[in-house]
Structure 1
């Protein structure tokens, strides 16, 4: 079987092929900007979800003593966090796909990437803030149940470093009250919530790394494109200079021919007169 060869690209740059390339380029640009608009819509949705999660976190802290409110918020939070995770992954994938297309609108991709990172940073702040505020609340509650708690015990409870057992023992030794039992139950529930937040923060850290790689790739592509542009400009200037040299040589040759013709004509005329 004959080996397949890559078609000669120059063949398609003339005649009817140029019209085909122009149409394909127009379709490609239309698809590119359509995807840009879709990503902008996703970014808007991401910001709305982050704001909603922030409100739910605040309500959770305010209504921590209300079990019904806590359960309702927990369900809404789980749903919102999952939807937000999906939006984030779609935007990340779309930005990488746009980068692969090598469109001339590199600044548009860069702007979208910056807006994406800003939204991620806002989400990260919401989760970190809730995590820290919840830890502070847990520490205060533990000190109420066990006023003589050591700093190490408080840290263990707050960081969940064996803290659940310490909290349980404190409740058992506190002449069991309704408040102590309620606080212990809340602690058990919130430990799971903190673990979810830590997973979210780890995912965000990975996406920040991915966006850093994308930014580096954009810089590399910009340098490569710049080098290609320089080479093309040099080739164009070289071709123009070569054409000027050819016309200059042609002009000199024409002048020499005219001079020789005049010389022969004058010499021939003088010889006949003599």
Structure 2
């Protein structure tokens, strides 16, 4: 059920993406009350752009290290991954705060801009996940090839153990019997390095999955609030229409009542006049 609501929310946001340019060129930019909101939204968008740039650099470094790993590139990767880890948490919190701000003025425009930021950030997270998954698969393939250098008949279980960092015994046994000791030793060292890279990628993927789920929950909560506000607005509008109908009926009844009172008054006045005329004739005749 929650996934269906999230998909529906994304579909609604997709229909309003073209309106996002209004946030920087529309009338809201002219008003001072919207300036802090637009300024923060622009800063968040810049943060997402920087996040994507880091992901692109991570992808390039991963490709380079796949063929020729070195300590300098490994340090750069760790630095970029840590920067994106901190940046992603900051962006998530800032988007959440922006979504929780009162939206009394330009509410629809603000919701559209927030939806755009949420969508772009989730796209950035998914792109990072895709890149890490692809590099994880390539690294695992590399580990498997290196393992089979020293043990061509390695079983799937032994390959899996090498992925998880438990292949020391396999390599130790293979090195004692292999005739290609130098090549086997180099393969063993590379596998050890790949195991650490795989561990880091697994950690990053777990963090990205949690971040994506957090953003999905935030969007669901926001959609629930917006739906509640819209339902309340519809109820108020319906009640107002009913009140106007009752007011109109009351006016009609009041007019009918006043008209009836005037009719009664004229009838009473007519009866008094007729009675006065009759009495006048009666008394006049007696004299």
Q: TM-score range by the shorter chain?
A: 0.7 to 0.9
Aligned to 1:57: 62
**Matches of 2:155 and 2:276, distance apart in 1:** 132
For each residue in 1:77-116, what CA deviation from the matched residue of structure 2 results, as whole angstroms up to 9, or x when unmatched?
0111111111211111122222322533334333322222
**Matches of 2:157 and 2:252, distance apart in 1:** 91
Note the residue ranges of structure 1 that are not aligned, 5 or more in a row: 1-25, 65-69
Give the alignment's TM-score, normalised by structure 2: 0.76
Aligned to 2:85: 85
Aligned to 1:76: 76
Aligned to 2:186: 182
For each residue in 1:136-161, what CA deviation from the matched residue of structure 2 results, as whole angstroms up to 9, or x when unmatched?
1111122122334334323322343x
Aligned to 2:272: 268
Tell me the matched-pair count. 243
Matches within 5 A, 1:1-274: 29-64=34-69, 70-101=70-101, 103=103, 104=107, 105-160=110-165, 162-175=166-179, 177-274=181-278
SS state at 1:149 partner: coil
Higher relative contact order (CA 8 A, sep 6+): 2
Contact 1:50 1:123 survives alignment (8 Å): yes
**Matches of 1:57 and 1:124, distance apart in 2:** 13
Contact 1:171 1:184 survives alignment (8 Å): no
Contact 2:132 2:201 survives alignment (8 Å): yes
SS state at 1:140 partner: helix
**Matches of 2:33 and 2:93, distance apart in 1:** 18
Give the alignment's TM-score, normalised by structure 1: 0.79
**Matches of 1:28 and 1:179, distance apart in 2:** 68
Q: How far is 1:126 from its partner? A: 1.0
Contact 2:163 2:195 survives alignment (8 Å): no
Q: How far is 1:235 from its partner? A: 2.5
Q: How far is 1:219 from its partner? A: 2.8
**Matches of 1:116 and 1:265, distance apart in 2:** 83
**Matches of 2:154 and 2:259, distance apart in 1:** 108
Q: How far is 1:175 from its partner? A: 4.4
SS state at 1:83 partner: helix
Q: How far is 1:134 from its partner? A: 1.0
Note the residue ranges of structure 2 that are not aligned, 5 or more in a row: 1-30, 279-287
